[in-house]
Chains A and B, each alone.
Chain A
Amino acid sequence: MPGKLKAKIVAGRHLPVMDRASDLTDAFVEVKFGNTTFKTDVYPKSLNPQWNSEWFKFEVDDEDLQDEPLQITVLDHDTYSANDAIGKVYIDIDPLLCSEAATIISGWLPIYDTIHGIRGEINVQVKVDLFNDLNRFRQSSCGIKFFCTTSVPRCYRAVMVHGFVEELVVNEDPEYQWIDRIRTPRASNEARQRLIFLMSGELQRKIGLKVLEMGGNAVVGYLQCFDLEGESGLVVRAIGTACTLEKISTLPSTTTQPSNSSPSKDMKEPVFGEEAPGVPLSSGPPTPLRAQTFSSFSPSKSYSRQSSSSDTELSLTPKTGMGSGGSAGKEAGPLKALLRQQTQSALEQREYPFFTLTSFPPGFLLHVGGVVSARSVKLLDRIHNPDEPETRDAWWEEIRQEIKSHVKALGCHAVVGYSESTSICEEVCILSASGTAAILSSRFIQDGSLDVEHRLSRQPVVFTSGADRVEGDMGSSASLGFEEVAPPGCGFCHIPYDELNIPFPAQLTYCYCCRRNKVPDVLFTTIDLPTEANVTGKGCLIQARLCRTKKKAQGEGNATAISNLLPFLEYELHTQLMNKLKLRGMNALFGLRIQISVGETMLLGLASATGVYLTALPSPGGIQIAGKTPSDITYEQHISNMQKKINDTIAKNKELYEVNPPEVVEEIIGSPIPEPRQRSRLFRSHSESSDEVSELDLSHGKKDAFVLEIDDTDAVEDIHALLTDSPTPQGFYSCNTEIMPGIQTWTSAIQMFTSVRVFRLNNLNLTNQGMNKIFTDLCENLLKSLYFKLRSMTPCCLCHLNFTVAIPEDELIQVAVTAVAMSFDKDQALENGMHSGEKTHIKAIHENDEQLQFNLELNPDCLTATKGLADVTGCHPSAKDRCSSWIEQLRLKAHTMRRGSIKTTSSLEKNSPLPEGRSRSLRSNRSYSGGSVAVVKMTPLSFIPGAKIIKYLGIINMFFIRETTSLREEGGVSGFLHTFIAEVFAMVRAHVAALGGNAVVSYSMKECVFMENPNKNQAQCLINVSGDAVIFVRESELDAASVQPQSVTTQTSNGGEGT
């Protein structure tokens, strides 16, 4: 019996009236785990029952602990008829299974009913006693930590990164079972909720087992998705990056030391010294030189088995890799090649060199090749045997293989920022995968950066040779050659592929930073902007939107039609992205996410990314419009007008985003007709027509990308689209990545939000252009609404602006956005620069708060900038930019003050009026209102500005269904969904608070499936959310915290009263 689960039901409050005669309720509670059920006594005639039950004890296998949720049902006792259910609470036990996470779940949790929503709250306490399991062949994976965060979690150090883990489980969807016809909607919804809870648990357990086999103890960047395939079933799949994490136990005082130490005298070197020499050749598993032998269609079960069987090797190989990586540069070529082949092929056979991480410790990411993506259109059929989900597995295998081959073509050996998604319409399913081809560091270069805990002390072998590289030897040696001297700010931009053997036509120039290595003219990636990157100016959200009509079709024909459309869709999205990037005078995209949704009569494409100007890359050329009939004078005029508009917009944007490259602009900018250059770094294909695609791609690459011919109706559209993108209002910035380049002075005011819109197209006989315009307007209007809503937070940046599009019905388009608005301090330099601002900077540096790695990285520069604006010449180029940006900010500030219309917050410490004030007065509220609710912050980012995350309490992964048969009475569809989303937020917050946390980071709404039937007055919605529950402390409280970390933990978990 490896575990004992204990639960206690304390009390209820705000219960609904169940007995109309007395206006009261006779409530009791059923506590169920697995097949065991306990009941409390009936607490008669009260809406605030005090059960104060005994501890109900469940003796269970830890396997069940992982799979099953604790199910609490609140019922109304009825003597004469059946007891009425009030609602349920599902509690995920997982956070309690890990010693480093939460120890108890205790607090008020909303009682949820799928028909009525939240109906009161229940106070419960849950504990788990785990016994050590010595069984080697166990099926559980208790203790493996899961993180949604796609970087190394803030209070951990990655000892080792093992690599990609994936798993999927399938089941029949209860909604589509025959029994659904005779049971109530409530029963059906509850069956579904419970099933998905179970499947998530099982999936997590299975992934955990894989991690254990690999020798890891955590999964970072855990991404779990549902595919509601309707008739053919329910698929829950997950990917992640297996790691060995180590909790940082050092006190802040010790972390200040490394910041002063010189880069060469690195504290991690001894570790390398110990392990690196000698090992490489001895322990590398002997494997065939080329491992490209397996069929890409082999079912993945066999893969998994292979991977399981070889886990011992795996745990050894990292050492090998490190050795080879570490000494490769100095070793002779042949030996190196041999080493690489050995390790690489060994790994290749069982692993994908994929990483779901999007940000890395400095120096880890050596070079970035570009975006790789693959799509495949599949026809769904019923999953016959849920225990052998081979087809689904095989589909994904196929796609991953394709990604891998693209990576190889880019001369890279790994994929970072990897993600997978699906879009389903009837029986057609589009599977998509994308990531960024990259070369990762084999030997960790310590450059004296401040964030100690983000360093990897050891490197796994995966990075040296993830992908097969036959012809790449020369290139790789080149890359290995320069990786040692490459400045951190531009190294990742340097091309990973061989210059003489470019996989696609590209215009290469020497790096504008180091002048030594070649860089491409533009760079597209799916990752976050590396912290060390040199960036000029600020970034901005760039979106390409596209809508394509398609004919209604069935089965194979439909699938073929879709797969024929896909390449064109991607091509146009890419063109749009490129044009918009140019229009903003920028040269790189980060966080690129292309979403393609399929409906019965249309395909939607939405690409979002954050554009930046990388200092290392050449300045982008302008956009040139050319007409085909130059004789016509009015026509000429029209064209020149347009041209002027475009040029003006570019100039305006450059000013807005402070894109003023430090160096003298070269011939490219001024030239009216830019030289032809490669524009497509986007590799794409799909199973049916990959050949065609790549051909198309190449032909496009040869064409001049920036001359838009006006005769082309599409071009007119393009230009129109370009110019109708309205700029963000003053005081706002936006990005879809974790950080906004150029902004460091975040205040603690954050506001996470979700906005959903559904549009009905009334006229189906629309042209593609018409549809495009509608879709573009839709997204633009949504953004405008957001800016308007959040205007009180300016100056602020909408970060992690994440759009999700869907086509729920034939004529409906659904757009959902989840993002966080974060205020920043614009006028710090003006008023507090020399006082509190500077002090904070210094404090921040001294405390070296490991959390805010991004800010810290840039802080010294800010400091110099604020200290003396005149002292520009001595500065680092990037500091110079920052100086100018400070000046710009001063100007803006002055402007703002004159206008007086925009609310500005004045001082660093005070400009967190909302949260600080709130928590304080909430505490004071407590005194008279009897236990008020603790504030729980939510953010899609992995950090909380101005605060330090001191503990991760476990993953939050919740799935809810809400249904109504009285849609009109609940305020129509908007009222229904508004309530439901608010309820989901409330439940997430309550569960986090019950775990003892005060925030959710890396929050995301994975799924929001909304269906309505206004004629029947019905609607149904499914929402899946996830995130990491954490405890954070404000930096201002950090002094106290650093001395007594334990006391702080207890303090915050108590809701932080006392101050």
Chain B
Amino acid sequence: MFVSDREQSVVRYNVNVEYFNTYTDVKMSVELDVFVGNTTIMDKEVYQLWLNGYTVNDAVKVRIDGGIMEECEVSVEVLISDTMDQYRTFQMCERLLHHPAKLANQLLFQIPPDRQAMLIERYYAFDDAFAREVLGKKLSKGTKKDLDDVSAKTNITLKSCRRQFDNFKRVFKEVEELKGPLVENIRQRFLLPDQLARDYAAVVFFANNRFETGKKKLQYLTFQDFALCAGQLINNWTVGAVDNMMEDMDVDLDKEFLQDLKELKILITDKDLLDQHKSLVCTALRGKTNVFTEMEASFKNLSRGLVNIAAKLINAKDVRDFFIDLVEKFIEPCRSDKWTSIDVNLYLTHYTNSAHILDTFKHHGVWTRYMGVIKTCILRMYHE
């Protein structure tokens, strides 16, 4: 409905005038109906319906079903009028919501700051189900064209999908080239609450690194699973994680670190080291778990899997497959052996710590930086 005409930088609103027809009576029809308050009145419930992409008629139905007519003793006409009016207000505000900072110093609408915050937060809020679908995809026109599939799959209206997609794209474009911490940049540029800013950071991070999330094996993972992993990666594996003042930004992985990760290969290439590592881990684990034999049996495979993932991360293509690799090389074997999350935690803890005791292993810093993230990600991704 909303058409943004960039060329003229004038935004026009297209309210479907047909809604008026429901309003008609045989003898008269409402030609025009507006309500303007000095303080802009916005109903949270209607705002949500608008954000959800409901048409005015559907929104009215939802409101009626909510029992508002009985509660406030109003007629359908009043509800339609109010809903249309609110929709119009939201459409007029939408242009400002694209640049939330403008909302605070525009003159057209007098909106109390707490309301402004509500408007922004809800406008930028997104459905996890939607985000899960788009996660890691290129935020391009092509993706946008496929949104009707996403809409059908997620049961989210196409309108709402488009808004959410546009939000992703807008945030992405805005912070893509910015220096400094990603989450903080998003929070400041879009005046979002912390958690939402983190979620956006995840979306931006995934889109930028093009992580593969759509494979069948990954389907069981939720957006929040990925968001947590993204947080881990952003906080630990990017350049900003080491030095906030660095020229580079949070959106790319630390190349130097990725280079260093290759050194970890020694853990699996050096036969002695591998055996030593295994025995240390097994000693620590013995008697503490029901799946000890399985652990012992699969140690070398698992270790190879994890170290190989580390060693390959220097290639962009392998970065994309990071999550699928984790699932294939670690999570699936464990799951088939019926490990519990506690087992996984126990195993990874001792696996990580034991490496430090190894005599000939020198790469403690890289190992900690790598395994810290791997452990948290795996634990989150390990659904029993």
A interface residue numbers (CB < 8 A to B): 13-14, 16-17, 20, 23, 108, 110, 116, 118, 121, 729, 751-763, 766, 770, 774, 778, 781, 784-786, 788-791, 812, 814, 901, 914, 917-918, 921-922, 924-925, 928-933, 935-938, 966, 968-975, 977-979, 981-983, 985-986, 989-990, 1010
Contact = CB atoms under 8 A, between A and B. Distances in A.
Interface string B32-46: 111111111100000
Nearest to B86: A789
B12 interface: yes
B28 A759 contact: yes
A763 B26 contact: yes
Contact of B112 (A756, A914, A973): A914
Given A757-B30, A770-B27, A971-B13, A933 B106 contact: yes
B65 interface: no
A788 B13 contact: no
Closest 5 interchain pairs by CB?
A918-B112, A921-B113, A971-B13, A758-B32, A17-B9
Given A729-B72, A901-B71, A933-B104, A758 B114 contact: no
Contacts of A930: 101, 105
Contacts of B31: 758-760, 812, 973
Contact of A974 (B78, B84, B106, B113): B84
Contacts of B146: none
B36 A14 contact: no
A757 B32 contact: yes
Contacts, number: 191
18 contacts: A16-B10, A17-B9, A23-B9, A121-B107, A751-B39, A753-B38, A781-B78, A784-B74, A788-B74, A788-B78, A789-B85, A914-B112, A928-B188, A933-B105, A933-B107, A935-B110, A975-B15, A985-B38
A914 to B, nearest CB: 6
B7 A20 contact: yes
Interface stretch (B87-95, B162-170, B354-362): B87-95
Contacts of B81: 781, 785
A935 B39 CA distance: 9
B71 A978 contact: no
A982 B84 contact: no
B38 A752 contact: yes
B188 A936 contact: no
Contact of B91 (A20, A971, A981): A971
B77 interface: yes
B107 A110 contact: yes
Contacts of A936: 38, 110
Contacts of B74: 784, 788
Given A761-B27, A789-B82, A971-B15, A16 B32 contact: no
Interface of B: 3, 7-10, 12-15, 17, 26-41, 71-75, 77-79, 81-82, 84-85, 88-89, 91-92, 101-102, 104-110, 112-114, 188, 191
Contacts of B40: 982
B30 A759 contact: yes
A990 B29 contact: no
A921 B92 contact: no
Contact of A921 (B33, B106, B114, B188): B114
Contacts of B88: 971, 974-975, 978
A616 B334 CA distance: 91
User: Among the interface residues A789, A814, A974, A981, which one has the most CB atoms of the partner chain B within 10 A?
Assistant: A974
Given A751-B41, A986-B110, 13 more contacts: A16-B8, A20-B7, A116-B10, A751-B39, A760-B29, A761-B28, A762-B26, A766-B27, A774-B27, A901-B71, A971-B14, A974-B33, A981-B36
A849 B35 CA distance: 34
A912 to B, nearest CB: 12
Contacts of B30: 757-760
A466 to B, nearest CB: 39
B13 A922 contact: no
A989 B7 CA distance: 30
User: Among the interface residues B7, B31, B104, B114, which one has the most CB atoms of the partner chain A within 10 A?
Assistant: B31
B36 A753 contact: yes
A755 B12 CA distance: 22
A933 B107 CA distance: 7
Contact of A978 (B36, B101, B106): B36
Contacts of B191: 929
Given A20-B7, A758-B30, A925 B37 contact: no
Nearest to A784: B78
Contacts of A108: 107
A814 B33 CA distance: 10
B247 to A, nearest CB: 25
A814 B32 CA distance: 9
A979 B13 CA distance: 10
Nearest to B109: A982
Contacts of A931: 105
Contact of B114 (A784, A917, A969): A917
A918 B92 contact: no
B102 to A, nearest CB: 7
A25 B72 CA distance: 50
B180 to A, nearest CB: 15
A971 B78 CA distance: 20
User: Among the interface residues A20, A918, A982, which one has the most CB atoms of the partner chain B within 10 A?
Assistant: A982
A758 B8 CA distance: 31
A788 B27 contact: no
Contacts of A979: 92
Contacts of A729: 72-73
A933 B82 CA distance: 27
B101 A763 contact: no
User: Among the interface residues A763, A791, A924, which one has the most CB atoms of the partner chain B within 10 A?
Assistant: A791
A764 to B, nearest CB: 10
A1034 to B, nearest CB: 16
A762 B12 contact: no
A990 B109 CA distance: 11
Contact of A788 (B3, B82, B84, B108): B82
Contacts of B75: 781, 784
A972 B17 contact: yes
A759 B178 CA distance: 53
Contacts of B106: 14, 933
B246 to A, nearest CB: 24
B9 A986 contact: no
A760 B110 CA distance: 32
B34 A917 contact: no
Nearest to A23: B9
Contacts of B188: 928
B32 A973 contact: yes
Contacts of B33: 756-758, 974
B110 A933 contact: yes
A247 to B, nearest CB: 28
A156 to B, nearest CB: 25
A921 B113 CA distance: 6
A966 B13 CA distance: 11
Contacts of B7: 20
A643 B72 CA distance: 29
A235 B89 CA distance: 35
Contacts of B71: 901
A1022 B308 CA distance: 74
A785 B84 CA distance: 12
Nearest to B36: A981
Nearest to B34: A978
B114 A918 contact: yes
B86 to A, nearest CB: 9
A970 B34 contact: no
A755 B112 contact: no
A1007 B345 CA distance: 74
B82 A989 contact: no
A759 to B, nearest CB: 5
B358 to A, nearest CB: 50
A929 B104 CA distance: 7
A110 B85 CA distance: 24
User: Among the interface residues A13, A756, A759, A931, which one has the most CB atoms of the partner chain B within 10 A?
Assistant: A759
